[in-house]
Structure formats: C-alpha cells, structure tokens
Amino acid sequence: MSADFKPFSPEGRAQSGADQYMRGRLCAFAPVLTGSNDEMFGLGIATANEPGYMPVSPFWCSVSAATPGAYRAMCEHADALNRERGLSPELATLIVASSMFPNDYRERIARQVERDKAKAAS
C-alpha cells in the first residue's frame, strides 16, 4: 500500500460509529469515491436490501485517487474487512448489489447466507 493509504483500523471503526451501525445488520464494505471533489477513494458500508450506503469519513479511511493502484488497494482493503466480518466474497458482493437494487436480491442473499453457514459447519 502507498504511503498515503489510511486503512480503516479497529479503533477507527469503533470511534466512527461503524461498528455500532453494523451491529445486528447484514453489511459489507465497498470502495467508493469520496472527498469534496471525489479526489479520494474511501469506503462505504452497504446494508443488505437497503438503498444506498453509509459513507465512512475520509478522516478514518482514504487514499488519493491520483495514487497509482489506489482503487485496487481500496478494493482489497474492503475485501479484507469483509472477510474479517465473516463474509464470503459472494455474500459481500450480493449485499453491495442489493443496496442498488433492494428488492431483487433478498432471496439470493438468504440462499448465500445458508450456503456460507453450511460451508462453515463442514
């Protein structure tokens, strides 16, 4: 990661309210453009079957969009945070997609949750 990459630390997640927001909800991190002029990449928190996302302040997590590989780095960071939360890549993708098309993904998310539970139990 580049020198200007600011990861979303456990302390940042607690202090920003992200942990509290996600408690009891099926949420996934996603890379987003952020900053007053979309000059940075940061994170958003998508909640399953709810439109839109909750932005994470660039104060807590960001990287300059001008930095080579910045988007890829933020994607990898979001993936790592989602894995920490126990989300499979498939489920995280469905959660993010459902924030854009809430009614289209309810059943697919429920099926993926069951598949992930079965996989973890085996």
pLDDT digits (tens, 9 = 90+) for 6-20: 999 999 999 999 999
Question: Using CA atoms, how far apart are residues 113 and 9, in angstroms rounded to an integer?
Answer: 26
At residue 106, the pLDDT reads 84
The yes-or-no verdict on residue 3 having pLDDT over 80 is no
At residue 37, the pLDDT reads 82
Give yes or no for a contact between 94 and 27, defined as CB atoms under 8 angstroms apart. Answer: no
CA torsion sign, 43 to 47 to 49 to 53? negative
pLDDT in tens, 18-35: 999 999 999 999 999 998
Q: Where are the domains of the chain?
A: 10-121
The yes-or-no verdict on residue 102 having pLDDT over 90 is no
The yes-or-no verdict on residue 2 having pLDDT over 70 is no
Residue 55: helix, strand or coil by DSSP? Answer: strand
